[in-house]
């Protein structure tokens, strides 16, 4: 029996419009990311290599009285610019939990299982390769992440062939994946904690909570208190980007489902293009500059790159398919409308695109290790993400040979 089409009016709902805008921005941003990765590697392996290194190490100093922050440019981007990215992630998580595609608990079972499988199995694959090296084993979370911008960038190449439900399913898995990455960073990638900084940070969190409860609608107030929180988190030993998540969760949402004019919606709308086309591309540029000199197939077969590569390319799709399949076969969930097992496999393969979050977690895991780790782990992430992109695209292209006529696309 043919599956009934999704009606046109439903696709014109505010939620449908938000999803379409989200997909368009993320897809375009993913393509920009790919360009910046290629540009970074090209510059690093050209006569401009010294310029690239000097660019990364430009000193930036912020001083207010006795408080002085001095970092090279690449650390300002990784610690401060990426806090803005996580600020957006926090707001999007809150929006989707309140009245988005994470608000329907019955629809959440399958993507939740897929995301859990997509984190657990890759971590086990990585540890299999690195179980005998405690330093290397610290990178177990690198292949657990999914880069939604890259994944949706691949989907944009098939925009007229895949159903809405597939895109929403992938976004849901990626959002849960982001939440998992945040939890992992908070609990497993922190240095020695400063009690004083954490206590002062708690006061700033209380301030943000008070602003939220008073329904303050001036973003400047949240930013000023948030900067204080960011400094405290930076000094506490917990990674500073987590402050962005907390601030994002404190931005007030709309009062009811019919009200789209809220500080949360407005801030997401205004900030999303800056993150997609400036912050993440710059992060890619400063982190993807890998020198190929001294690289060899033998180095790529070492435990760390092997664990990352196999974790993303094999562990991710196996985990997503295994956990999703169990939920469906046991009757706890069912495939979304207009999706079949081939579509699920294509999504599972695309989940192996780890790029942004994988590189970010790798920088935390090996920040105190030999610099050789950073070179080889990033190359493995990029190669695995490229292979996952191609594999996912081909599976979806073969399973969706014709444009979808009976399903309204985003």
For residue 312, the model assigns a pLDDT of 96
410 neighbors 25 (Cβ within 8 angstroms): no
Sign of the alpha-carbon torsion through 189, 193, 198, 199: positive
Nearest Cα residue to 328 out of 110, 112, 102, 117: 110
Alpha carbons 12 and 29: distance in angstroms, whole number: 24
Q: Which of 2-6, 134-138, 313-317, 346-350 has the lowest mean pLDDT?
A: 2-6
Name which CATH class applies to 82-189+239-278+297-399: mainly alpha
Give the pLDDT mean for 131-159: 83
Q: What is the number of other CB atoms lying within 10 angstroms of the CB of residue 91?
A: 25
Q: Given phi > 0 = left and psi -120 to 50 = alpha, else beta, which region is 346?
A: alpha
What phi, psi does 64 have (nearest 5°)?
-130, 105
What span, in angstroms and rounded, lies between the C-alpha atoms of 126 and 99?
Answer: 36
Cross-strand partners of 64: 67
Query: Could you tell me the residue ranges of all domains in the chain?
Result: 82-189+239-278+297-399
Q: 120: buried, middle or exposed (CB in 10 Å: 19+, 13-18, 0-12)?
A: middle
Q: pLDDT digits over 295-308, tens only?
A: 777 878 889 999 99
- pLDDT at 64 exceeding the cut of 60: yes
Q: What is the largest CA-CA distance in the chain?
A: 72
Highest-confidence range of 13-17, 147-151, 244-248, 320-324, by mean pLDDT? 320-324
User: CA-to-CA distance for 103 and 78, rounded, in angstroms?
Assistant: 31
Higher-pLDDT residue of 366 and 266 is 266
Give residue 81's Cα distance to chain centre.
Answer: 14
**Cα Rg of the chain, angstroms:** 21
What confidence tens digit (pLDDT) does each residue in 108-121 have? 889 999 999 999 99
Nearest to 100 by CA among 219, 17, 217, 28: 17
Q: pTM higher than 0.75 for the full model?
A: no
Of 29-43, 195-209, 332-346, 365-379, the range with the lowest mean pLDDT is 365-379
User: How many residues appear in the chain?
Assistant: 410
Task: Supply 140's token pair.
Answer: 């177990």
Q: What is the pLDDT of residue 2?
A: 38
């Amino acid at each position: 029996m043919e599956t009934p089409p999704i009606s046109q009016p439903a696709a014109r709902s505010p939620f449908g419009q938000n999803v379409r805008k989200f997909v368009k921005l993320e897809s375009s941003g993913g393509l920009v990311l790919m360009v910046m990765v290629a540009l970074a590697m090209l510059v690093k392996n050209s006569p401009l290599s010294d310029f690239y290194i000097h660019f990364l190490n430009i000193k930036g100093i912020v001083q207010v009285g006795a408080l002085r922050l001095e970092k090279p440019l690449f650390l300002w981007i990784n610690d401060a610019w990426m806090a803005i990215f996580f600020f957006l992630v926090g707001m999007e998580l809150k929006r989707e939990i309140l009245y988005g595609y994470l608000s329907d608990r019955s629809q959440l079972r399958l993507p939740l299982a897929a995301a859990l499988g997509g984190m657990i199995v890759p971590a086990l694959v990585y540890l299999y390769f690195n179980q005998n090296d405690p330093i290397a084993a610290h990178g177990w979370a690198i292949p657990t992440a999914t880069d939604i911008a890259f994944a949706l960038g691949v989907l944009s190449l098939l925009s007229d062939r895949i159903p809405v439900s597939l895109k929403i399913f992938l976004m849901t898995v990626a959002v849960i994946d982001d939440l998992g990455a945040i939890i992992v960073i908070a609990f497993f990638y922190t240095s020695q904690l400063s009690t004083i900084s954490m206590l002062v940070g708690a006061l700033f969190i209380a301030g943000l909570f008070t602003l939220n409860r008073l329904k303050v609608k001036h973003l400047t107030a949240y930013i000023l208190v948030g900067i204080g929180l960011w400094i405290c988190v930076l000094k506490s030993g917990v990674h500073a980007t987590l402050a962005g998540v907390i601030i994002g969760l404190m931005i007030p949402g709309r009062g009811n489902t019919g009200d789209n004019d809220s500080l949360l919606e407005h801030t997401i709308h205004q900030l999303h293009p800056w993150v997609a086309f400036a912050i993440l591309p710059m992060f890619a540029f400063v982190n993807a500059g890998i020198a190929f000199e001294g690289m060899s197939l033998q180095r790529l077969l070492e435990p760390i790159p092997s664990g990352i590569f196999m974790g993303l390319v094999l562990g991710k799709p196996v985990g997503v398919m295994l956990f999703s399949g169990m939920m469906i076969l046991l009757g706890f969930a069912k495939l979304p409308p207009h999706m079949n097992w081939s579509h699920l496999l294509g999504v599972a393969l695309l989940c192996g695109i780890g790029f942004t979050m994988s590189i970010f977690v790798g920088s935390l895991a090996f920040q105190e290790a030999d610099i050789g780790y950073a070179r080889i782990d990033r190359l493995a992430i990029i190669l695995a993400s490229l292979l996952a992109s191609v594999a996912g695209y081909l599976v979806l292209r073969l399973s969706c040979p014709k444009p979808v006529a009976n399903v309204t696309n985003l």
